Each structure stands twice: as structure tokens, then as C-alpha cells.
């Protein structure tokens, strides 16, 4: 299995909607990373 890593934030945004969308994507990918790593740990045990 390859590591799952969230894509980094874009960094500069035209408005708060655009920033919010990118931040939400980053959070959800980070949660997925957490779940993915936990699953990988269980498989290795």
C-alpha cells in the first residue's frame, strides 16, 4: 500500500468561500489519512 497524504493548501484565495472549500478539502483528506494509516497499522499487526 502506498502512503496517502493530503494535497497541500493552495495558500492564497480570492475570497472566504474559495478558502473554505480548500480548507474543507484539506481537513477531509487529513481525516482520510488518519483512517488510512490506522487501517494500515492493523494490517501490519
Partner 1 sequence: MDQPFYDVKVLEDGCRFDFLSIGYTATHKAILYKETEIPFLFSLTLAEVQWDGKLSTTINNSNADVKPTMATITKTFETFTAANPRAVIVFMGNTDAKTRLYRIAISRDLDKLLEKYVIWGIRNDNGNANCLNPISPINISSLPADF
Place of cell 484565495: 13
Give the end-to-end CA distance of the chain in Å, rounded to a whole number: 15
For residue 45 the three cell numbers come to 499487526
Count other C-beta atoms under 10 Å from residue 8's C-beta: 8
Q: Taking the complex as a whole, how short is the minimal distance between the CB of residue 44 and partner 1, in angstroms?
A: 12
For partner 1 (CB under 8 A), the number of binding residues is: 26
Interface mask toward partner 1 for 5-44; x: CB under 8 A: ---xx-xxxxxxxxxxx-xx-xxx-xx-xx--xx--x---
Residues that bind partner 1 (CB under 8 A): 3, 8-9, 11-21, 23-24, 26-28, 30-31, 33-34, 37-38, 41
Amino acid at each position: 500500500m502506498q502512503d496517502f497524504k493530503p494535497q497541500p493548501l493552495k495558500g492564497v484565495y480570492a475570497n472566504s468561500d474559495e478558502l473554505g472549500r480548500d480548507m474543507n478539502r484539506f481537513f477531509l483528506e487529513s481525516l482520510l489519512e488518519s483512517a488510512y494509516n490506522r487501517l494500515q497499522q492493523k494490517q501490519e499487526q
